Structure 1
Amino acid sequence: MSMPAAIEAVRAAFIGLTAGEFDLPPRQAFGGSRSLVMAAHHRPSGSTAVKVVSIEIERDPVITGTLVYSHPDGQFVTDAVPLTTLRTGAVVGVATDLLAEEDASHLALIGAGAQAADQVRAVHAVRPLKKLVVFNRDAAKAEALLAGLEDELPDTVVDIASDADEAVREADVVCCATASTMPLFSGDSLKERVHVNAIGSYRPVMRELPQELLATAEVVVVDQVEAALSEAGEIIRAVHSGVLRLESLVELGAALDNPPLRQGRTVFKSVGVAVQDWAVARLLA
């Protein structure tokens, strides 16, 4: 399955979510969010995706799990891991296409784990990259990531940064894909015009983004407000401290229907919702 196809499928799913086409119960978390269960039912097609995953930060692979996709003509079961990295990349592609400058070509990637490659592929699909800078605490992982992407980015200059602030300093687009509990970089390190995606944190105790970024961003888009207020540590902290107004949060589907201006700093924060899994699974059916 190609990344552009996944991006278009996820884009359509979020528009459908805003239009009321889905039943989308809150994600169920067990064992300190080490086990997650998420489901989406698409009423027009009568199809349902249910995913169960286990997450252990110190394990390799971090995520294991299974997805079941059911539709009126049958069902199939598939490994949730590649589907999850693909759909997470795809939603970043949707948000980057919506919010990043048309000529954005310099990506900074923080984190070189399982999600990283599809983050790069997604941004490259909507904003062809002239430069890619990666920072990871284990530089060997960053080197391995770049080696694996070499054939896909033949015309892209690649580099490994010594710290996150260095990595983001000249970037047009930033992608954060870590399990950090503290902001990864200073807001002062960013350009005045930059788009930032954050997909790593999925628990209230986790944070990737600095509060000053959320306080000064022209627009903060989330996959779903309810999910963000339950699981996105940086959003929860910013709203509770008063630096981010709850009513200023924009859901991705609504932003696609009424695109905001591309100006200043923009943010997309995703904790992942089941319509993404449904969208990519439907392409496999």
Structure 2
Amino acid sequence: MELLVLSKEDLLKISDAETLVDSVKIAFSSFSSGKMKQPERHVDFVKGNWWGTMIGFNDQMFGIKIVNVINENRLKGLPAVNGVAILFSADTGEPQCLTEGSTLTALRTASASVLSTWLALRKKSIGTLGIVGAGDEAFYHAKLAQEFFSIEKIMITARKSHIDLAMKLGLLAVDKVKLLNSADVIFSTTSSQDPVILGKMLKDNFHVSSIGAHTPSSRELDDDVILKARTIMVDSKEAVFRESGDLIIPQNEGLLNDKNVVEIGDIINNGYTIDTPSIFKTVGIASQDVFTLSSVCKKAKEEGVGKLIKL
């Protein structure tokens, strides 16, 4: 049998915003309709660092991703997020495609933020986009947003490194107050344990996609953001209310009693209209990885990208 292996460079060579956004759209739709099965994400902590194993499958394919977050790697000049993802045939059980997992994660996560924004705005133009954070996720969020939308201005802020990223991508480096006061859409891509998006500083109408805060005690969004939002989109209700303090804490405080919390897959499947201001809270689900991997592997085979290895 032959296994197609895709490096980070291969992934970036064949990935485009339209294809990636379409892939996560199908992924969310399939998850919420029950067509894609995925066991609960298995999480371990090794030397205090987060390791996750994510599995998703349907009648055609079976995918698994193993990923970790080692924040201390930044001090060593190494990537903080590492992993691999592999796709199998559900019919024969043969492994079909293997790819570097951290870039796959970043691409599918950024695609989800872009998709949530399109669903909230229902147009492919943004006035001012604000990005909070300056890591890999911030980079790919800016890159895919620039490809997918027509954007008048992109602002970025972070504790450090955002000036370099701004110069690299042609963004405007600003302080957090200016960004929160000015942005129509905000992508929050931090590893912060405490809120970085403050509702009192936001415009009356906004859309915020929050991809950080993956533990029950951590938050990117403060109470005021939750109170202002009319619609709260999530990738998986079960996963978000199990894993993220951004919704767990407000729920425990009784702030979600009259809020419309809906899975993004249900919005797609039922054609719901989103009332803004809106939030998209994502912790990432296996369905995103499987459909994105399937899509990029198919494209790689068509374009002759990657390396075939005989097993």
State the TM-score, normalizing by the size of structure 1: 0.90
Deviation at 1:76, TM superposition (A): 2.2
Identity of aligned residues (%): 25
Segments of structure 1 that go 5 or more residues without pairing to the other structure are: 151-157
1:65 paired with 2:83, answer: yes
The change in CA–CA distance for 1:41 and 1:28 in structure 2 (over 3 A counts) is same
One of 153, 166, 169 as aligned partner of 1:149:
169
Q: Which residue of 1 aligns with 2:64?
A: 50
Q: Which residue of 1 aligns with 2:16?
A: 2
Q: Which structure is richer in relative contact order (CA contacts within 8 A, separation 6 or more)?
A: 2
> Is contact 2:53-2:67 (8 Å) kept?
yes
Deviation at 1:35, TM superposition (A): 0.8
After superposition, give the CA deviation of every residue in 1:34-92 in whole Å (9 maximum; x if it has no partner): 1111110122x1x1111111211232311011111112464222110111110001111
SS in 2 for 1:244: coil
One of 250, 267, 273 as aligned partner of 2:285:
273
1:11 paired with 2:28, answer: no
> Is contact 2:86-2:95 (8 Å) kept?
no
Q: Which residue of 1 aligns with 2:153?
A: 131
Deviation at 1:136, TM superposition (A): 0.8
Q: Which residue of 2 aligns with 1:89?
A: 110
One of 224, 249, 265 as aligned partner of 1:237:
249
- Whichever residue aligns with residue 242 of structure 1, its letter is G
SS in 2 for 1:59: helix
Q: Which residue of 2 aligns with 1:159?
A: 172
SS in 2 for 1:129: strand
One of 215, 236, 254 as aligned partner of 2:266:
254
1:26 paired with 2:43, answer: no
Q: Which residue of 2 aligns with 1:36?
A: 52
Of residues 185-194 and 218-227 in structure 1, the stretch that sits farther from structure 2 once superposed is 185-194
The change in CA–CA distance for 1:247 and 1:184 in structure 2 (over 3 A counts) is closer
SS in 2 for 1:58: helix
> Is contact 2:267-2:273 (8 Å) kept?
no
**Which structure: larger Rg?**
2
The change in CA–CA distance for 1:254 and 1:226 in structure 2 (over 3 A counts) is same
> Is contact 2:180-2:198 (8 Å) kept?
no
SS in 1 for 2:52: strand
- Whichever residue aligns with residue 98 of structure 1, its letter is L
Which aligned segments of 4 or more residues in structure 1 are displaced greater than 3 angstroms? Answer: 258-264
Deviation at 1:125, TM superposition (A): 3.8
- Whichever residue aligns with residue 260 of structure 2, its letter is S
Deviation at 1:264, TM superposition (A): 3.4
The change in CA–CA distance for 1:30 and 1:93 in structure 2 (over 3 A counts) is same
Please give the alpha-carbon distance, in whole angstroms, between the structure 2 residues aligned to 1:246 and 1:191: 22
Please give the alpha-carbon distance, in whole angstroms, between the structure 1 residues aligned to 2:108 and 2:153: 24
Q: Which residue of 2 aligns with 1:113?
A: 135
Deviation at 1:115, TM superposition (A): 0.6
The change in CA–CA distance for 1:23 and 1:262 in structure 2 (over 3 A counts) is closer
Deviation at 1:278, TM superposition (A): 0.5
Of residues 53-62 and 1-10 in structure 1, the stretch that sits farther from structure 2 once superposed is 53-62
Please give the alpha-carbon distance, in whole angstroms, between the structure 1 residues aligned to 2:197 and 2:177: 5
How much is the aligned-residue C-alpha RMSD, in angstroms? Answer: 1.8
SS in 2 for 1:205: coil
1:170 paired with 2:149, answer: no
State the TM-score, normalizing by the size of structure 2: 0.83
Q: Which residue of 1 aligns with 2:308?
A: none
SS in 2 for 1:137: coil
Please give the alpha-carbon distance, in whole angstroms, between the structure 1 residues aligned to 2:255 and 2:65: 34
One of 188, 193, 218 as aligned partner of 1:181:
193
Aligned length: 273
